[in-house]
Amino acid sequence: MLLSMLLSKLLPTLRYLVALVALVSLQLQAALVPAPPQLAATAYLAMDAATGDILVESGADGRFAPASLTKMMTSYIVEHEIAQGNVAETDLVPISVKAWKTPGSRMFVREGTQVLLGDLLRGVIIQSGNDASVALAEYIAGSEDAFADLMNQHAVRLGLKNTHFENATGLPADNHYSSPRDLALIARALIRDFPEQYSIYAEKYFTYNDIKQPNRNRLLWRDATVDGVKTGHTEEAGYCLVASALRDDMRVISVVLGTTSDEARAAESQKLLSYAFRFYRTFPLYRANAVLNTSDIWKGSLDSVGLGLSEDLAVTIPRGQEDQLAATLDLPGVIEAPLAAGQQVGSLQISLGGKLLREVPLVSLQDVAEAGFVKQIWHSVVLFFKGLFE
**What does residue 55 show for φ and ψ, rounded to 5 degrees?**
-95, -35
Catalytic (active site) residue 68: yes
Cα 362 from Cα 332, distance rounded (Å): 11
- CA 253 and chain centroid, separation: 8
End-to-end CA distance of the chain: 64
Cα 254 from Cα 322, distance rounded (Å): 24
- Selecting among 68, 96, 244, 269, the annotated active-site residue is 68
Bridge partners for 259 per DSSP: 239
Distances in whole angstroms, Cα of residue 270 to Cα of each of 45, 65, 219: 12, 22, 8
Say if residues 190 and 72 touch (Cβ distance below 8 Å).
Answer: yes
Say if residues 240 and 217 touch (Cβ distance below 8 Å).
Answer: no
- Specify the DSSP class assigned to residue 224: T
- Count the residues in the chain: 390
- Selecting among 75, 128, 133, 254, the annotated active-site residue is 128
Bridge partners for 247 per DSSP: 250
Say if residues 329 and 290 touch (Cβ distance below 8 Å).
Answer: no
Say if residues 77 and 99 touch (Cβ distance below 8 Å).
Answer: no
Say if residues 48 and 282 touch (Cβ distance below 8 Å).
Answer: yes
Strands 226-234, 238-247: pairing kind: antiparallel
Say if residues 161 and 144 touch (Cβ distance below 8 Å).
Answer: no
Q: Which residues contact 315 (CB under 8 A, 6 or more apart)?
A: 51, 53, 282, 283, 285, 325, 350, 352, 357, 358
| DSSP output for 72-133 | HHHHHHHHHHHHTTSS-TTPEEEPPHHHHH--SS-----TT-EEEHHHHHHHHHTT--HHHH
Catalytic (active site) residue 71: yes
Catalytic (active site) residue 299: no
Q: Which residues contact 324 (CB under 8 A, 6 or more apart)?
A: 352, 353
Query: Where in the sequence numbering do the catalytic residues fall?
Result: 68, 71, 128
